[in-house]
Amino acid sequence: MHIREFQDMMRQIYFHHDSKRGAKGTCLWLVEEVEELGEAIKGKDKKALENEFADVLAWLASLANVVDVNLEEAAMAKYNQICPRCKQVPCKCTRNFQP
C-alpha cells in the first residue's frame, strides 16, 4: 500500500467526521496521539506501541485530508531519496538531531 492509498482509505472511513471537526480539532487529536506514542515507547508492550504508531499515522492522514494536502506528494517532494538539508545519503548533518 502506498501512502496515498492509506490517506484515501482514511478519507473514505473518516472524512465525514474529520471535515466537521476541522483542522484545529483534528490537529489536537494528532498531538494527543503523539503524546500517547511517547508514553508507549517507555513501556515494553510491543502491541501497544504498534497501536500508537497506527493511531499517529491515521490522525496525520486525517489532518492532511482536512487541509487538502497529499501526504505522499508532500513527503516525496521534500524527502526524495536524500536528506533535504545536506543532500547526502546517509545524512551527514551534525546539528539539530541531538536529543
Shortest approach of Zn ion to residue 16 CB, angstroms? Answer: 40
The answer to whether the CB of 86 falls within 8 A of the CB of 93 is yes
Q: Which is nearer to Zn ion, 1 or 89 (CB)?
A: 89
Which residue type does 52 have?
Answer: E
- Give, as ranges, the residues between 76 and 95 that touch Zn ion (CB under 5 A): 83, 85-86, 91, 93
Would you say 74 or 82 has its CB closer to Zn ion? 82
Residue with cell 536528506: 83
- How many C-beta neighbours within 10 Å does residue 49 have? 16
Query: Which residues of the shown chain bind Zn ion in the complex (CB under 5 A)?
Result: 83, 85-86, 91, 93
